[in-house]
């Protein structure tokens, strides 16, 4: 049967996947339909230049966006931006493989407190009396009786009943019961009590971390970090909400992208541990409000429209089979509850990690694409979310990148000269979030940037500024920049004036959220006993630089503590302990959400926090 004339066969390499697509469809949309992951931070708007592909055969004339973001040499070699390239005929396209080092900066561990291991999954070894003719036997009742249980307090699902008769007889009436959340989910041949695993998963906007945990000991046996495959639909939650609503089957594509990625993570974890999927009985998931909606296939549309309403608070318990995950088919997936609007299950995870400190006064800030903030005032918890934007993760910065090889991650002044550390001791090709904060803080302290964030003109620079630094300040207006590092091949990494403005917006948003929470609690920075910085960005920034730019309140450096990936740690705690899970639900219900944009002083506070405090 011949294909319709409007259909075109496109082969994607190196995946060797091909399909027919209508004329006029963008290559990026074709990738979405096939589940091929291609980074597109701007969501396909043609304004980031990141979704490059290589045309091996086919007609894809350069677009205006190609001419702006690609070099003449790249265009000559067939490189095009997938979001702008329209399919008009049969073609062969090469999708660049993601670099392995991209995952090296993903933070997997966080500060953890000791808890008693008491998971919701239990395994019991049983020996069942064989049925006799003179009795009144029932397979399921006899099995429960042998384990000292009854159908009155333990549900036996139909899926279990269907294979129980054969399994009992194949095992000669001896085996292992698997119980999860008061439900009998399996009867396994032999003694399999030592084969009992669960998964703790943190679904972030940018990264996803999965951990395989031995539920008998609480020990982590394997870890797998990945970049979130949904990044090809946009680098922030608003662009993904837009995709879910504006594109046909958009929500389905987004959900399937994260489910497929989780299955890849699960398969990797099982390979690392030498374990089998049928012995993984539970998954605990934390994520921000939008990520949890998309994971469950629930449209988060109204989170992007005033008055910003989530569909659910949660928690949710589903089966792996319902979601299509590579666990035991009747294994449970527990999704953390939300606190309010954009303060989601990941923030509940942070709160659970800090639960031993609830009678103190502290501030916790999880800085990512969004900034979630918690303020604890002797057991009274208030929270908020700020639209920090992705600047601190390298996005919307002229030479911004993730914390991988080639990224400047540390900047300091040494005898009046700007010195940079580059990850992997490689040539510098860009700057990551911690390097951005360092660069701004260092230039503020050197007098190169004023309190408004403006790079000073030549005649305004300090008279004692080293000439080697003075020579690195070039350009005018929006194009004014500070060359941070020059390489032997002539390449440079610079901090642009517009980069400082992007960082100011992010810094201003977070500082505003903190200020409003402090006002709500009627306390000042001097009352804080501790400030906890969570997340990858919070882990890598320097305390003195966070203070220098006014990202966090002025406190003694010894009060600032890094707690790592506390969201994922919270998922681990809830996985290994039902008591911790109950505590997480209680904390989520009792924490008060504050909508900072509704504060009458919001605009004034935000405008003030955009400035840098010098001296």
pLDDT score recorded for residue 156: 84
399 and 506 part of one domain: yes
Position 134 in a domain? yes
pLDDT score recorded for residue 101: 45
pLDDT score recorded for residue 489: 86
Residue 129 CB-density burial (10 A; 0-12 exposed, 13-18 middle, 19+ buried): exposed
Of 304, 335, 366, the position where a domain reaches its end is 335
CA 163, CA 442: separation in Å to the nearest integer? 67
Of 133, 163, 189, the position where a domain reaches its end is 189
* Omega cis (within 30) before 307: yes
361 and 476 part of one domain: yes
379 and 523 part of one domain: yes
Work out whether strand 407-414 and strand 380-386 pair parallel, antiparallel, or are unpaired. unpaired
What HEC string does 284-308 produce? EEEECHHHHHHHHCCCCHHHCCCCC
Q: CATH code at 70?
A: 3.10.20.30
Q: Edge-to-edge strands of the sheet including 560-564?
A: 560-564, 530-534, 361-367, 371-377, 380-386, 592-593
Position 108 in a domain? no
143 and 40 part of one domain: no
pLDDT score recorded for residue 582: 96
Spatial CA neighbour of 287 closest among 240, 222, 355: 240
202 and 247 part of one domain: yes
390 and 246 part of one domain: no
397 and 526 part of one domain: yes
pLDDT score recorded for residue 181: 84
Show the domain range for 47: 7-97
457 and 559 part of one domain: yes
Cβ proximity of 203 and 187 under 8 Å: no
What HEC string does 51-77 produce? CEEEEEECCCCCCHHHHHHCCHHHHHC
Q: CATH code at 175?
A: 3.10.20.880
49 and 138 part of one domain: no
Q: What is the mean pLDDT for each group of 10 consecutive residues in the chain (615 residues)?
A: 68 86 89 79 75 91 89 89 91 77 54 84 91 83 85 82 88 90 88 94 91 94 90 84 90 94 96 95 96 95 91 93 94 96 94 95 87 94 84 73 84 90 89 89 93 92 90 88 90 92 90 96 95 78 88 92 91 96 96 93 94 76
CA 142, CA 213: separation in Å to the nearest integer? 32
Of 276, 302, 335, the position where a domain reaches its end is 335
Nearest 5°: the CA angle 244, 247, 248 is: 105
- Classify residue 482 as left (phi > 0), alpha (psi -120 to 50) or beta: beta
505 and 455 part of one domain: yes
323 and 438 part of one domain: no
Position 326 in a domain? yes
């Amino acid at each position: 049967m011949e294909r319709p004339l409007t259909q075109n066969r496109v082969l994607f390499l190196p995946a060797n996947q091909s399909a027919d697509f209508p004329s006029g469809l963008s290559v990026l949309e074709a990738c979405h339909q096939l589940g091929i992951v291609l980074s597109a931070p701007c969501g396909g708007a043609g304004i980031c230049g990141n979704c490059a592909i290589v045309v091996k055969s086919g007609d894809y004339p350069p677009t205006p966006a190609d001419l702006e973001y690609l070099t003449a040499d790249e265009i000559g070699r067939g490189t095009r931006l997938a979001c702008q390239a329209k399919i008009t005929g049969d073609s062969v396209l090469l999708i660049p493989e993601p670099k392995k080092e991209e995952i090296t900066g993903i933070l997997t561990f966080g500060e953890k407190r000791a808890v008693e291991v008491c998971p919701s999954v239990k395994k019991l070894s049983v020996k069942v009396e064989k049925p006799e003719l003179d009795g009144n036997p029932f397979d399921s009742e006899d099995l429960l009786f042998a384990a000292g249980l009854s159908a009155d307090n333990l549900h036996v699902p139909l899926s279990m009943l269907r294979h129980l008769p054969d399994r009992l007889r194949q095992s000669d009436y001896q085996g292992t019961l698997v119980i999860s959340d008061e439900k009998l989910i399996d009867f396994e041949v032999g003694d399999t009590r030592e084969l009992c695993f669960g998964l703790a998963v943190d679904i972030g906007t940018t990264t996803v971390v999965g951990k395989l945990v031995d539920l008998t000991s609480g020990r982590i046996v394997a870890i797998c970090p990945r970049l979130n495959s949904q990044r090809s639909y946009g680098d922030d939650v608003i662009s993904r909400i837009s995709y879910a609503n504006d594109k046909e089957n958009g929500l389905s594509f987004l959900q399937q992208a994260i489910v497929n990625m989780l299955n890849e993570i699960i398969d990797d974890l099982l390979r690392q541990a030498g374990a089998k999927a049928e012995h993984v009985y539970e998954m605990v998931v934390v994520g921000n409000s939008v990520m949890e909606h998309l994971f469950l296939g629930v449209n988060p549309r109204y989170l992007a429209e005033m008055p910003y309403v989530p569909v659910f608070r949660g928690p949710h318990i589903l089966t792996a089979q319902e979601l299509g995950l590579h666990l035991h088919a009747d294994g449970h997936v527990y999704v953390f509850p939300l606190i309010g609007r954009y303060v989601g299950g990941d923030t509940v995870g942070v709160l659970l990690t800090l639960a031993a400190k609830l009678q103190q006064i502290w501030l916790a800030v999880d800085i990512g694409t969004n900034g979630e903030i918690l303020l604890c005032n002797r057991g009274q918890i208030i929270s908020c979310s700020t639209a920090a934007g992705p600047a601190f993760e390298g996005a919307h910065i002229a030479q911004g990148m993730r914390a991988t090889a080639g990224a400047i991650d540390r900047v300091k002044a040494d005898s009046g000269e700007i010195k940079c550390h580059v990850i992997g001791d490689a040539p510098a090709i860009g700057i990551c979030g911690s390097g951005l904060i360092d660069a701004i803080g260092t230039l503020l302290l050197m007098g190169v940037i004023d309190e408004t964030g403006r790079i000073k003109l030549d005649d305004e620079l300090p008279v004692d500024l080293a000439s080697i630094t003075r020579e690195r300040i070039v350009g005018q207006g929006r194009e004014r920049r500070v060359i941070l590092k020059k390489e032997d091949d002539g390449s440079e990494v610079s901090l642009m004036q517009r980069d400082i403005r992007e960082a100011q917006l992010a810094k201003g948003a977070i500082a505003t959220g903190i200020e409003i929470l402090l006002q709500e609690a009627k306390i000042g920075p001097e009352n804080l006993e501790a400030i906890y910085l969570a997340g990858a960005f919070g882990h890598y920034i320097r305390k003195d630089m966070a203070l220098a730019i006014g990202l966090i309140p002025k406190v003694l450096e010894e009060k600032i503590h890094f707690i790592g990936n506390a969201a994922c740690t919270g998922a681990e705690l809830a996985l290994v302990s039902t008591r911790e899970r109950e505590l997480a639900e209680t904390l989520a219900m009792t924490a008060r959400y504050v909508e900072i944009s509704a504060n009458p002083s919001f605009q004034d506070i935000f405008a003030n926090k955009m400035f840098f405090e010098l001296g």
